[in-house]
Amino acid sequence: MEKLGVIGGMGPEATAYYYDQVVRHTQAATDQDHIDMVILSCASMPDRTRAIQTGDARSLLTTMRSCVSLLEQAGCAHIAIPCNTSHFFYDQIQAFTGIPVIHMPREAVRETVLVGGARRVGVMGTDGTVASGVYARECEALGATCVTPPAELQASVMSIIYDDVKAGREPDLDAFDRVIGWFLDEGACDSVILACTELSVVSQYRRLPEAVLDAMDVLVRKSILLSGARYRA
């Protein structure tokens, strides 16, 4: 099996959840059946949404380059970044290294459109992810429509991410349900992607609706399979 590199810490709880899910979903009877991982919890990484909104990503990309270099030195064969918003900078990050970086938004959209058959895809993520169009471009490439919530509901999404999960509090499940309800009713979406790894934490508190796909789940499966281990559903 091959060693997996992870650029995490965006945020720390989401990274811890990602690692837990990789362990839980690896078909393993012994320690040696699990994959070797190098996890860099770079909590000091500059805020991704702010970098997109201000157009100043110099510090962020310098930090990313340093992380990539460390993972190269550690002999990693693939890199996973459990942070959707950071994929706005995917091309720059991939240019830092010859190691393949898993494109989480691309893999998530392929899952919901090519496998699930969705034509209208709701995206629930940070202001940075929504404004960057990273999911919209992937949907468009596959002939699907990307739908984002109105401003007042987007504010609720940001509150769940920043005021709740990143602040170490339980997510506001009522607010979460209101946004999902809008997507499936007024937004007429046939699938909703949780496009922020902080939102992945919601599944610790309740079962997600059938129409909801967590991009983190897709990244977990891809990480396991690319590393040469067996995936357990």
pLDDT (tens digit, 9 = 90+) per residue, 36-64?
999 999 999 999 999 999 999 999 999 99
Ordered by start, the domain boundaries in the chain are 4-103+218-226, 104-215
Q: Tell me the residue ranges of DSSP E strands in 51-152.
A: 78-80, 120-124, 145-147
Cα–Cα distances in angstroms (integers) from residue 53 to residues 30, 135, 155, 165, in the given order: 46, 17, 16, 21
What span, in angstroms and rounded, lies between the C-alpha atoms of 81 and 175? 27
CB 217 within 8 A of CB 199: no
**Proportion of the chain above pLDDT 70, given as a percent:** 100
In which residue are the tokens 């897709």 written?
A: 218
Nearest Cα residue to 171 out of 47, 11, 37? 11
Q: Is 9 buried (19+), middle (13-18) or exposed (0-12) by CB count in 10 A?
A: buried
Both structure tokens of 14: 């989401």
Say what the pLDDT of residue 226 is.
97
The residues, any chain, with a CB within 8 Å of residue 30's CB and separated by 6 or more, are none
The C-alpha atoms of residue 192 and residue 215 are separated, in whole angstroms, by 10
Q: How many residues does the chain have?
A: 233
Q: How far apart are CA 79 and CA 223, in angstroms?
A: 8
Q: With a cut of 50, list the residues of the chain below it in pLDDT.
A: none
Same fold, 4-103+218-226 and 104-215: yes
The domain at 104-215 falls in which architecture? 3-Layer(aba) Sandwich (3.40)
Residue 21 CA from chain centroid, whole number: 13
CATH no., domain 4-103+218-226 = 3.40.50.1860
For the annotated catalytic residues, the residue numbers are 83, 196
| Segment 194-231, tens digit of pLDDT | 999 999 989 889 889 999 999 999 999 999 999 999 99
Q: Name the one residue in this structure whose structure tokens are 């690319």.
A: 226
How many other C-beta atoms are found inside a 10 Å radius of the C-beta of residue 47?
16
